[in-house]
Amino acid sequence: MSRLSIRGIEKTFPGRRRAAPTRALEPTDLEVRDNDFITILGPSGCGKSTLLRVVAGLETPTAGTVTLDGRPVTRPGPDRGMVFQSYTLFPWLSVRDNVCFGLRERGVPRAEQLAIADRYLAQVGLKGFENHQPSQLSGGMQQRTALARALANDPGVLLLDEPFGALDHQTRELMQELLLGIWEQHRKTVLFVTHDIDEAIFMASRVVVMSARPGRIKCDIAIDLPHPRSYKVKTSAAFAAYKERLTEEIRVETIKTLNMEA
Query: Which stretches of the chain bind ligand ADP, using CB under 6 A?
Result: 13, 22, 24, 42, 44-50, 213
Q: Could you report how far apart the first and last alpha carbons of the chain are, in Å?
A: 43
Tell the smallest beta-carbon distance from residue 193 to Mg ion (Å).
Answer: 6
Tell the smallest beta-carbon distance from residue 202 to ligand ADP (Å).
Answer: 20
Residue 229 contact among Mg ion, ligand ADP, none, beta carbon within 5 to 8 Å by kind: none
Task: Describe the crossing of helices 169-186 and 139-152 by its angle, rounded to 10 degrees.
Answer: 20
Per DSSP, helices labelled H in 75-168 are 95-105, 110-123, 139-152
Task: Rank residues 58 and 93 by Cβ distance to ligand ADP and give the closer one.
Answer: 58
Residue 22 contact among ligand ADP, Mg ion, none, beta carbon within 5 to 8 Å by kind: ligand ADP
Task: Rank residues 45 and 78 by Cβ distance to ligand ADP and give the closer one.
Answer: 45
Task: Rank residues 24 and 117 by Cβ distance to ligand ADP and give the closer one.
Answer: 24
Distances (CA, A) of 39 to 19, 122, 188, 200, 253: 32, 26, 13, 5, 17
Tell the smallest beta-carbon distance from residue 163 to Mg ion (Å).
Answer: 11
d(CA 200, CA 208): 9
Tell the smallest beta-carbon distance from residue 238 to ligand ADP (Å).
Answer: 28
Tell the smallest beta-carbon distance from residue 49 to Mg ion (Å).
Answer: 3
Q: Which residues bind Mg ion (CB under 5 A)?
A: 49
Q: Which residues, at least 6 apart from 5, have a Cβ–Cβ distance to it below 8 Å?
A: 31, 32, 65, 66, 67
Phi first, then psi, for residue 181 (nearest 5°) are -60, -40
Task: Rank residues 61 and 102 by Cβ distance to ligand ADP and give the closer one.
Answer: 61
Task: Rank residues 24 and 204 by Cβ distance to ligand ADP and give the closer one.
Answer: 24
CB atoms closer than 10 angstroms to residue 72: 10
